[in-house]
Amino acid sequence: MAVLYSPLPETFDDEHQKAQLKRMLDLKVNPVDGLASKWDYENNRWK
C-alpha cells in the first residue's frame, strides 16, 4: 500500500525560516527571557 503525502508548506523552507527568525528578532519578541534576549543587537550576532 502506497502512502502519499502532500508537499511541505513553503514555510518549512530554510529561506522562510531564516526570514521568520529575522522578523522575530526585529520585533524583539519576548525580550526578557526568550529568543530576543539571546541576540546581541549592537553586534548583530548571538550572545
1 has pLDDT over 70: no
**Residues pairing with 40 in the sheet:** 45
CA–CA dist 47, 35 (Å, integer)? 11
Residue 10 identity: E
pLDDT digits (tens, 9 = 90+) for 10-45: 888 999 999 998 998 888 888 888 888 888 888 989
Contact 16, 10 (CB under 8 A): yes
In this prediction the pTM is 0.65
User: Which residue blocks in 1-47 are alpha helix, DSSP H?
Assistant: 14-26
